Amino acid sequence: NKAFWNRDIGDQQIDGVVGIDPIALGFILEATGPINIEATGDTMTADNAVQLLLSDVYSRWNAYESPEIVDAFFAGVAAQVFDKIATADFNMMGMVSSLGRGIDQGSILFHSFDDETQDFIADERVSGILPTDNEETSTVGVYFRDESASKIDYYMRSNIDVTQTCTDGSTSFDVATTLHLDIDQGVADALPDYVKSGTPGWGSSRFRTAVYVYGPPGTTLDEVTVEGREVEIKSQDIDDLGRPVAFVWTYLAPTELATVNATFSGDGEFGPAALWSTPMVNATTGTVAACGE
Q: Tens digit of pLDDT for each residue in 251-282?
A: 999 999 999 999 999 999 999 999 999 999 99
292 pLDDT above the threshold of 70: yes
Q: What percent of the chain shows pLDDT beyond 90?
A: 73
Return the pLDDT at 265.
97
Output the furthest CA–CA distance in the chain (Å, rounded).
63
Return the pLDDT at 7.
61
Helix (H/G/I), strand (E/B), else coil: 220: strand
Domain borders along the chain are: 2-104, 131-289
Each residue's pLDDT tens digit, 212-255: 999 999 999 999 998 877 788 888 888 888 899 999 999 999 99
Distances (CA, A) of 53 to 14, 162, 221, 254, 258: 27, 31, 38, 22, 27
Return the pLDDT at 21.
93
Q: At 9, is the pLDDT very low, low, confident or very high (cuts 50, 70, 90)?
A: low
Q: At 6, is the pLDDT very low, low, confident or very high (cuts 50, 70, 90)?
A: low
**Contact by Cβ (8 Å): 37, 70:** no
Q: How far apart are CA 24 and CA 46, in angstroms?
A: 9
User: Which of these, 216, 215, 233, lies nearest to 224 by C-alpha position?
Assistant: 233
Q: At 200, is the pLDDT very low, low, confident or very high (cuts 50, 70, 90)?
A: confident
Each residue's pLDDT tens digit, 62-83: 999 988 989 888 888 888 888 8
155 pLDDT above the threshold of 70: yes
CATH of 131-289, one of 1.10.287, 3.30.420, 2.60.40, 1.10.1060: 2.60.40
User: Which of these, 143, 157, 270, lies nearest to 211 by C-alpha position?
Assistant: 143
Residue type, 273: A
Report the pLDDT averaged over residues 143-152. 95
Helix (H/G/I), strand (E/B), else coil: 208: strand
Q: Please tell me the pTM assigned to this model.
A: 0.91
Cα angle vertex 124, ends 118, 126, to 5°? 80
Q: Return the C-alpha torsion angle 278, 119, 79, 37, nearest 10.
A: 30
Return the pLDDT at 1.
53
Question: What does the chain come to in residues?
Answer: 293
E strand or H helix at 110: strand 108-112
Return the pLDDT at 8.
61
Report the pLDDT averaged over residues 1-7. 59
Distances (CA, A) of 198 to 195, 249, 282: 8, 16, 22
